[in-house]
Amino acid sequence: MSNCDTIRLDLDAYVKGLLPTEEMRPVASHLESCPECRNALIQLKQVAAILHKWEDITPQAGFIEAVNEKIDELGIHDSINDHQEVNLFYRFRYALATAAVLLLAVIIWLANTKPPESTRLISLNSGTLSVQQDNQTREAATKGTYYINNDTVMQTAQTKAVLSLADQTKIEMDRQTVLNITEPSEKSRGNIRLHQGSIYLDVAKNPKTLYIETESGRIKVVGTRFRVNHLKYNLPARPADASHSGGPANRQVPESVPNDDGFRITTVSVDEGAVQVEWKNSVYPVKPGERIAFSISIKPTRFDLPAGDNMANKADYLLGLLKQFSEGNDFDNASAAEAILASFGQEIIPLLMGIIKDEPSGKYNPAYLSRILSRVGSESLYPELEAVMKSSKYYIEYRSAAAETLLGINQPRGAKILLNIFTNADADTRKLCLATLHNKPAIGAENTAELIKILVNLIKNGENRDNPLFNTAVEALAGISDNSGLPLLYELLKNETDYRVILSASRAIARMGDKSDREKALTRLYALAEDKNDLVKLAAIKTIMCLENTQGKQRLANRLVDIGLASSDPKVKLACLETAIILGDQQAFELLKDIIAQNNSDLTLQAIQKIARMTSSDTLSGFAVEMMASGYYDLINRWKRTQESSALTLAGQITHSLEGIKNPRSLPIIRGLLDSSEPDLVLSAVRILANIGEKEDIFTLRTLLIRVTTAGSPAGADESLRAEINTAIETLRTTLDFRDE
């Protein structure tokens, strides 16, 4: 039994492949013999898949600015020490008129900061470098000669840069690569420290050795051409081999912010000559055409795809390789997979395309296939990708991967292709097109205009809301992310009459635009909120509430209740009620009264059910219980007045729903119900407390018992109530003891 408990602690790591091999075996052999743990394992896997249905949200643009505004409001900006020094630097920098002067200044500055003997010259042949020294960053312009010293950290941002050292050794730095170069000595030419990213070296012949160091180990070189990747979560713009052939200049690169936490893998691939990897006192030679991967804790391992055409073999080999690299380290498997796969460059393309076309088991994550393909692939893949994307004979997941890759390689061109496909496609393919184009920030002005046109038409013709394309189109219009579409969206906002189009367009504008854009969208929505049609009003108000700030929302709440009271449409009333409760508006009580007064059992029942569902929300639970209690009094009073049995049935519905409450956040209000004048409500409260009460409720219930026994109130229900309270106390005591254990 205790064995199971220890095994179970490791199951989560086991499922994710994070367990070191030596710990994997006992888990695996225990699983063989223990059906219960096997079951637990299956549950973990299944629950992981479902949990990932809850996707990330994208923070609004302007987040950084908002933080800065808040900091400035606090007025602490000026009190930071060292601030003056930094400021001086910036003032100095802005004062410089031309890049040439700036360059000169950098050289002078760099040369002056360290003793002359440790400085050396490097040339920057192309690209832009940011140079960091003594914790200050300076931009260096392209081309020129610079003095550097041991502490000069050179970093590329979004473009490549090519450096050459004094002996004509060339270093090609990929995007987002960070390195520094240390001082030469009698025996060595100095070391290149690769902190992150990817470099390609063309090393000049020289009797002295050159070392490339990474966190994982070091690589000894005499004269040769080879590549070193030192990668973790993110890959450089182009992987090893693809950067040789040179991709199209306007190619879109998926966002990649270097993330510095966690595990890194170094890979080395040699084109010419030979290098040696030195790792923990052992030497591993690497010859031309060979690849080797290593990390701090994993010894250098050669890897290559197995020869032959058997795709499954190759894929399984890669999976095995990835497992091996995940041993003993808490890191994201997928990133290592990307690093290794990308180091194959274009060689990996046939394998990935093969998986997309033929792989039936679904063990490869399509999103992840498309990310790698987007990096290593080029537009020559387009015909093949387009064919997969269009044909229903492939799995929808992999078709989606193909569509994403179309955009990943070149967003404007890919978008154009998808829009072409859209015109002559079946409903599934059309949906796939729209879902892929949703939220893509750089599809280009022309494509955005075309897309908006298509979406507006779809929405306007979407009278039948069951048409699956209608909802997708509404979402997609709201998800337009290419700024070039803003003018068109404004036009829609001004001239469009279909309120559904306006709603989606204003959501997109508010998401993309700045504060003033948001204001404009809101103005239009407020106008829409005056519409004659209740549903339009309501939709506008719901959208406003999504865009407004807190005060704005509160102002709106009143309006909402007025609409609800005035409308004769039950749907509108219900929606208003729901939103008013979400807003925590006291007038929601009025609205509920009004609904009950309609004398429409169906409507009332629906309202009760809606409120009952809200009790499971942490924030709304207490309020919802109060609403239910209030509804109960209304119904009981109505029954007392009119003797309508339907009122009594509905009141019974309320107590029934109440007793299903599981959320401890409603406890304070439930305790309040114990003082109610309605015996049935008291009874329900007692039952709820028996289920979810806390320690203090034993005391509360005892007090109630005494009160009921001595005062004989509430009348008529004494006997059964006393029994119920006693049972509740017992139940509560047992469950609390159990919970304490």
Partner 1 sequence: MKETNQQVPVASGEPRPEGRDSVLVKQAQKGDRKAFNALIEQYHKAIVNFIYRNINDGSRAEELAQKVFVRCYLNIKQYNQQYKFSTWLYTIAVNLCKNELRDKSRRPRNVELTDLIRTPDVTSASPVKALADKEIREKVSRAVQSLPEDQRQAIIMSVYNDLPYKEIAEALKTNENTVKSWIFRGKQTLFEMLKGYVNQNK
Query: 666 by DSSP, 3-state: which?
Result: helix
**Binding piece for partner 1, criterion CB under 8 A, among 55-63, 312-320, 630-638, 688-696:** 55-63
* Interface characters, 705-734, with partner 1 (x: CB under 8 A): ------------------------------
Q: What angle do CA 487, 492, 497 make, to 5 degrees?
A: 170
**Binding piece for partner 1, criterion CB under 8 A, among 346-354, 426-434, 702-710, 714-722:** 426-434
Note every long-range contact of 39-47, with CB atoms under 8 Å and residues 24 or more positions apart, other chains counting: 40/8, 40/11, 41/11, 41/14, 41/15, 44/11, 44/12, 44/15, 45/15
- Which residue type, as a one-letter code, is found at position 697? D
The 3-class SS string of 124-176 reads EEECCEEEEECCEEEEECCCEEEEECCCCEEECCCCCEEEECCCCCEEEECCC
Rule CB under 8 A: is residue 530 a binding residue for partner 1?
no
Rule CB under 8 A: is residue 659 a binding residue for partner 1?
no
User: 140, 153, 705, 725: which one contacts partner 1 (CB under 8 A)?
Assistant: 153
> Which residues have C-beta within 8 Å of that of residue 14, sequence separation ≥ 6?
24, 27, 41
Scanning residues 675 to 694, which ones bind partner 1 (CB under 8 A)?
none
* Count of positions on this chain that bind partner 1 (CB under 8 A): 119
Rule CB under 8 A: is residue 438 a binding residue for partner 1?
yes
Query: Under a CB-based contact definition with an 8 Å cutoff, are residues 401 and 356 in contact?
Result: yes
223 or 664, CB closer to partner 1?
664
Q: Show the tokens assigned to 565.
A: 């009271």
Q: How many residues does the chain have?
A: 741
- Whether the CA torsion 680, 685, 688, 690 is positive or negative: it is negative
The packing angle between helices 427-437 and 468-478, to 10°, is: 10
683 or 685, CB closer to partner 1?
685
Rule CB under 8 A: is residue 1 a binding residue for partner 1?
no
**Exposed/middle/buried for 358, CB within 10 Å: 0-12, 13-18, 19+?**
exposed
CB of 173 to partner 1, least distance (A): 14
CB of 361 to partner 1, least distance (A): 12
Quote the strand ranges of 5-148, DSSP E: 120-126, 129-133, 136-140, 144-148
Largest CA distance in the chain: 106
CB of 307 to partner 1, least distance (A): 32
* Interface characters, 359-388, with partner 1 (x: CB under 8 A): -------xx---------------------
Scanning residues 182 to 211, which ones bind partner 1 (CB under 8 A)?
182-183, 193, 195-196
Query: Under a CB-based contact definition with an 8 Å cutoff, are residues 484 and 496 in contact?
Result: no
User: 132, 467, 484, 646: which one contacts partner 1 (CB under 8 A)?
Assistant: 132
Rule CB under 8 A: is residue 156 a binding residue for partner 1?
no
263 or 344, CB closer to partner 1?
263
Rule CB under 8 A: is residue 309 a binding residue for partner 1?
no
213 or 680, CB closer to partner 1?
213
Q: What angle do CA 377, 230, 250 make, to 5 degrees?
A: 35
* Interface characters, 476-515, with partner 1 (x: CB under 8 A): --xx---------------------------x--------
User: 598, 616, 676, 735: which one contacts partner 1 (CB under 8 A)?
Assistant: 616
Nearest CA-CA partner of 163 in 209, 187, 115, 131: 131
448 or 663, CB closer to partner 1?
663
Rule CB under 8 A: is residue 267 a binding residue for partner 1?
no
Scanning residues 19 to 48, which ones bind partner 1 (CB under 8 A)?
40, 43-44, 46-48
| Residue 248 CA from chain centroid, whole number | 29
Number of Cβ atoms within 10 Å of the Cβ of 610: 16
Query: Under a CB-based contact definition with an 8 Å cutoff, are residues 366 and 400 in contact?
Result: yes
Query: Under a CB-based contact definition with an 8 Å cutoff, are residues 505 and 492 in contact?
Result: yes
575 or 729, CB closer to partner 1?
575
543 or 604, CB closer to partner 1?
543
- Which residue type, as a one-letter code, is found at position 68? N
Q: Residue 295: enclosing H or E segment and its boundaries?
A: none
Scanning residues 578 to 607, which ones bind partner 1 (CB under 8 A)?
579, 582-584, 586
Rule CB under 8 A: is residue 258 a binding residue for partner 1?
yes
Query: Under a CB-based contact definition with an 8 Å cutoff, are residues 523 and 493 in contact?
Result: no
User: 31, 105, 296, 535: which one contacts partner 1 (CB under 8 A)?
Assistant: 296
> Which residues have C-beta within 8 Å of that of residue 51, sequence separation ≥ 6?
none
377 or 714, CB closer to partner 1?
377
296 or 319, CB closer to partner 1?
296
User: 198, 472, 615, 684: which one contacts partner 1 (CB under 8 A)?
Assistant: 472
CA dihedral 155, 158, 164, 169 (to 10 degrees): 90
Rule CB under 8 A: is residue 75 a binding residue for partner 1?
no
Rule CB under 8 A: is residue 471 a binding residue for partner 1?
yes
CB of 234 to partner 1, least distance (A): 11
Rule CB under 8 A: is residue 464 a binding residue for partner 1?
no
Rule CB under 8 A: is residue 546 a binding residue for partner 1?
yes
74 or 715, CB closer to partner 1?
74
CB of 527 to partner 1, least distance (A): 19
CB of 126 to partner 1, least distance (A): 23
In the DSSP assignment, the letter for residue 644 is -
**Binding piece for partner 1, criterion CB under 8 A, among 312-320, 353-361, 393-401, 724-732:** 393-401
Query: 46 by DSSP, 3-state: which?
Result: helix
Scanning residues 211 to 230, which ones bind partner 1 (CB under 8 A)?
213-218
User: 331, 394, 422, 499: which one contacts partner 1 (CB under 8 A)?
Assistant: 331
304 or 397, CB closer to partner 1?
397
Query: Under a CB-based contact definition with an 8 Å cutoff, are residues 354 and 311 in contact?
Result: yes
CB of 85 to partner 1, least distance (A): 8
CB of 612 to partner 1, least distance (A): 14
Query: Under a CB-based contact definition with an 8 Å cutoff, are residues 229 and 278 in contact?
Result: no
